[in-house]
Structure 1
Amino acid sequence: MPYNKRMLGANPLRSFAQDAGVKSEWNLRMSRYEQVDLAYDFLIGKEKLGEAFTIVQLAEKTGWKIDTCRTYPSKRWHQYIEKDGDQYSSSGIGYLSKEEFRAVHSQKLQQTADLSSKGILLHKAKEFALLAVATYNNPYTEFKTYGFIVNIVIAYTSLFHAIFEKRGVDYFHKSSDGTPVLIDGEEKAWELAECVEEYWRSITSPEKSNIKFLIGLRNKIEHRSLPAVDLAVCGECQSALSNFETMLVEEFGDDHALTASLAIAMQLTRISEQAQIDALKQLQKDNYRVVREYMETYRDDLDDDVVQSQKYRVRAFLVPKLGNHASSSDIAVEFINVNKLTEEQRKNYEQGVAFIKGVENPYKLRPSKVVELLRSELAGFNMTLHTKCWKYFNARPRHNDRGFKGEYVAYVEGFDGYLYSKQWITFLSKQLKDEKVLEEVKRQEI
């Protein structure tokens, strides 16, 4: 066939060189992704079978070094890999194509969006958590607590759904015949209360109690204009946010932490003391009664170790930090781990707490709670015996005296009745172990 200039172009050697260059670049690219593709196939296979794998197995299948294989699950694939001791398992790789997995594996990891159901739910959870903070910290927002709760409930619900997606838990409602319950054509997912019970099955924890308190409070204030509750529950709100981030990081890794987007809210200290006094007065008004009684009853029914936990309610104070170098670059607010303080340091901080903190009301126990606690120590203890006890020991008046405050019991406004202290439990437990005293108490007339 005669040479044709148009077929090969003006310079046939250059054309051959260009073709060779394209092929060389293609081969290089395929070589670069060969081990990544082997990792993708390996992870997909394990995920389909529901099997865990080890770093050694990953290295054997891909040809990567052991140290390299240790890095990828915690750095580049952290959204899809869960570690349990020496075992690893993948979740969500099946939603990615091979090209998408290559993008995840590339150096542009932080710019790669996770478009799986889990990834979308996780993004929604973080967005609404930040929205909750923005609402609460906005100085122009009057109903801070309600705005915060509405958004943090959505955030928690989405976070739990993302966790259930990762774990393969079916979190959708089913009808009696096992078919999905549909609302507007969509499957009805569990609400937050149901998610909480699934996540902490038969477990009582401060985090669980915190969320359930906020759910109940939302239901109470949903149709009421009650800004005065903000100061009364700010500790619970702060704990809810802190617990949210802890769970987020523990379940999905440090890269999802919200701290990069948050700062400590500035406090208007000049008016805070009077604002607290005014808010407490407002909270005693009759239109707050339903919410006030809910808050008091819920807290009174909790175990002391739950109420005292920072995971249920944050209680903190700020101490001015003095330093030798005013221009030093350390953070203005420092968080102290009490467990790491020396005895002398702890005494100094405790003195500061004693100086600025208010005295917490010791009278928190309803009569039914007193009976419940004593029944575990004194078999057969009941409400009738308890009534005889306070009458025998003259612990309180027989009529309602709104100003009464005794050693073991006091009349509490809001509860509109008498509540007891833990010292009353200790006192009765000791006294009633004496058989003579117990018999005398039983003879007491009601």
Structure 2
Amino acid sequence: MAYARWRHILMESQRHALKAVDEWNCSTGNYSDFLTHMHRAWHYLLHAEFHKAKIDYHYRDPKTGQHQLIDGEPKAWDLDRCLRERFPDNQDPVRLNGELFVALRNKVEHRYEHNLKIATGGRAQALVMNYEQEIVAHFGSEYSLADRLRFPMSLQALTAAGREQLQEAAKKLPKHTRDLVARFEAAIDPAVLDDLRYDYRVRLVPITGSKTEADLAINFVKLDELSEDERRTMVQAGRLGTVIEKVKHVEVADKDKLLPGRVARLVEDQVPFEFSASHEHAMMWRRIGVRPATGAPDPCATDAKYCIYSEAFGTYVYTPAWVKKIIREIGTVEKYKAFFGREPRLKKVTQFPKRPGAPEANDARQHNKSA
């Protein structure tokens, strides 16, 4: 059976899309290959749309009106031009998402691929989701890739230490790459930056309760299909990392949460004395009552503003607000003495060249020793 030309172009587009997702999901995958294959997938998809709609998608000489030729063949529009033609609104989130990855593909450095993958994860997810929606909208559900694509799993996303590694990796991007993204997004309306078609961010919530045959491992909830009250609840949950269950707030993800050691380091960075996770921190959460004691009947009975119980890992994690409260409560030597009833252990003083009239360095060391 002979197929229309647009269908052959579409099949090539799908092949590249599947290769791109394979590169993303594979632990040894190459991010620049993901960018290249998704670039081609979108390029061929839009060419297939134009071909089917009988739109000429080839460059013409502005003087003669004739097709520009490369090796005797008409020169087809590049992806940038295709995106502008398909999405004429220059603030369309799908167009902006595609244009960002065109720019990144042209600038990616191989040694920073892993870092770039981490920093652009939500936008890459949107790039693939937009592709799926575009192909189904124009060619029908029989061309959907949903049965062949898989939701990627990341072990690093399941632990606080893993998230810190991801955050540190994202910070190591070279300045010119960070600046490229920053400059690109500086001109975009904040509402577009929050649009899922530009940056697809999700929060995973474990499903509990009785399982039915209709259940899938992952269920997607569309906000526009919810009631106004349900939508408000889901949006608020997405911002705070909580869902409402019965009459109490329950944390469903520990994004931006801190383990005790991290809390202690953040506090110690901002006070003139030592602050220990095993001593001062433990005394503070007990006295202020932000969480129950270990082994309590209800470990979830925490002050959620400051502390959350992670049921998956059987431990407590703390919020940035808890760090701020600690510093308010004991941030000076006087406040520390009032709270703990003893002198703090002052941090060692770094020696600098002596200024006229300044005390001797030995005096400072002696003071630390006596304290």
Task: Tell me, yes or no, whether TM beats 0.5.
Answer: yes
Specify the alignment match of 1:255 in structure 2. 142
Corresponding position: 1:226 with 2:113: yes
Report if aligned partners of 2:20, 2:35 keep a CA contact under 8 Å in 1. Answer: yes
Name the CA distance, whole Å, in 2 between partners of 1:352 and 1:192.
33
* Cα offsets for 1:166-193 (capped at 9, x unmatched): 1211111223323322222322111000
Q: Per the alignment, do residues 232 and 276 of structure 1 end up closer, same or farther by CA in structure 2, a change over 3 Å counting? A: farther
In the TM superposition, what is the alpha-carbon distance from 1:272 to its structure 2 partner?
A: 5.8
Corresponding position: 1:303 with 2:189: yes
Q: Per the alignment, do residues 117 and 302 of structure 1 end up closer, same or farther by CA in structure 2, a change over 3 Å counting? A: same
* Cα offsets for 1:58-103 (capped at 9, x unmatched): xxxxxxxxxxxxxxxxxxxxxxxxxxxxxxxxxxxxxxxxxxxxxx
Match of 1:119 among 1, 4, 7: 7
Name the CA distance, whole Å, in 2 between partners of 1:195 and 1:345.
35
Name the CA distance, whole Å, in 2 between partners of 1:330 and 1:269.
26
Corresponding position: 1:338 with 2:223: yes
* Cα offsets for 1:237-270 (capped at 9, x unmatched): 1111111111111111111111121222223257
State how 1:241-390 maps to structure 2 within 5 Å: 241-269=128-156, 273-285=160-172, 288-325=174-211, 328-339=213-224, 340-341=226-227, 343=229, 346-347=232-233, 350-351=236-237, 353-355=239-241, 356=253, 358=255
In the TM superposition, what is the alpha-carbon distance from 1:299 to its structure 2 partner?
A: 1.9
AA paired with 2:223?
V
The sequence identity of aligned pairs, in percent, is 27
Q: Per the alignment, do residues 222 and 123 of structure 1 end up closer, same or farther by CA in structure 2, a change over 3 Å counting? A: farther
- Consecutive unaligned residues of structure 1, counting only runs of 5 or more, are 1-111, 360-446
Q: Considering only aligned residues, what root-mean-square deviation do their CA atoms show, in Å?
A: 2.5
* Cα offsets for 1:339-361 (capped at 9, x unmatched): 415636853773475143657xx
Report if aligned partners of 2:47, 2:57 keep a CA contact under 8 Å in 1. Answer: yes
Corresponding position: 1:128 with 2:13: no
In the TM superposition, what is the alpha-carbon distance from 1:225 to its structure 2 partner?
A: 3.8
In the TM superposition, what is the alpha-carbon distance from 1:147 to its structure 2 partner?
A: 2.0
AA paired with 2:222?
N
Q: Between 225-234 and 206-215, report the one with greater CA deviation.
A: 225-234
AA paired with 2:69?
L
AA paired with 2:122?
G
State how 1:36-435 maps to structure 2 within 5 Å: 114=3, 116-141=4-29, 143-144=30-31, 146-175=32-61, 176-221=63-108, 225-269=112-156, 273-285=160-172, 288-325=174-211, 328-339=213-224, 340-341=226-227, 343=229, 346-347=232-233, 350-351=236-237, 353-355=239-241, 356=253, 358=255
In the TM superposition, what is the alpha-carbon distance from 1:127 to its structure 2 partner?
A: 0.9
Report if aligned partners of 1:228, 1:280 keep a CA contact under 8 Å in 2. Answer: no
Q: Per the alignment, do residues 250 and 328 of structure 1 end up closer, same or farther by CA in structure 2, a change over 3 Å counting? A: closer
Equivalent residue of 1:263, what SS?
coil
Equivalent residue of 2:65, what SS?
coil
Equivalent residue of 2:33, what SS?
helix
Specify the alignment match of 2:245 in structure 1. none
Name the CA distance, whole Å, in 2 between partners of 1:348 and 1:254.
28
* Cα offsets for 1:361-397 (capped at 9, x unmatched): xxxxxxxxxxxxxxxxxxxxxxxxxxxxxxxxxxxxx
Report if aligned partners of 2:156, 2:162 keep a CA contact under 8 Å in 1. Answer: no
- Consecutive unaligned residues of structure 2, counting only runs of 5 or more, are 242-252, 257-371
Name the CA distance, whole Å, in 2 between partners of 1:272 and 1:234.
18
Q: Per the alignment, do residues 302 and 252 of structure 1 end up closer, same or farther by CA in structure 2, a change over 3 Å counting? A: same
Higher helix share: 1
AA paired with 2:221?
I
**Larger-Rg structure:** 1
Report if aligned partners of 2:118, 2:169 keep a CA contact under 8 Å in 1. Answer: no
Q: Per the alignment, do residues 195 and 282 of structure 1 end up closer, same or farther by CA in structure 2, a change over 3 Å counting? A: same
In the TM superposition, what is the alpha-carbon distance from 1:297 to its structure 2 partner?
A: 2.0
Specify the alignment match of 2:330 in structure 1. none
AA paired with 2:12?
K
Report if aligned partners of 2:42, 2:79 keep a CA contact under 8 Å in 1. Answer: yes
* Cα offsets for 1:264-321 (capped at 9, x unmatched): 2223257664344334334434x61110111122222210111010000111111110
TM-score when normalising by structure 1: 0.50
* Cα offsets for 1:109-156 (capped at 9, x unmatched): xxx562x22111111111111111111111122x33x22211111011
Report if aligned partners of 1:231, 1:276 keep a CA contact under 8 Å in 2. Answer: no
AA paired with 1:266?
M
AA paired with 2:198?
Y
Q: Per the alignment, do residues 320 and 123 of structure 1 end up closer, same or farther by CA in structure 2, a change over 3 Å counting? A: same
Report if aligned partners of 2:67, 2:74 keep a CA contact under 8 Å in 1. Answer: yes
Name the CA distance, whole Å, in 1 between partners of 2:196 and 2:232.
18
- The size of the alignment, in residue pairs, is 243
AA paired with 1:129?
A
Report if aligned partners of 1:125, 1:157 keep a CA contact under 8 Å in 2. Answer: yes
Equivalent residue of 1:332, what SS?
coil
Report if aligned partners of 2:9, 2:45 keep a CA contact under 8 Å in 1. Answer: yes
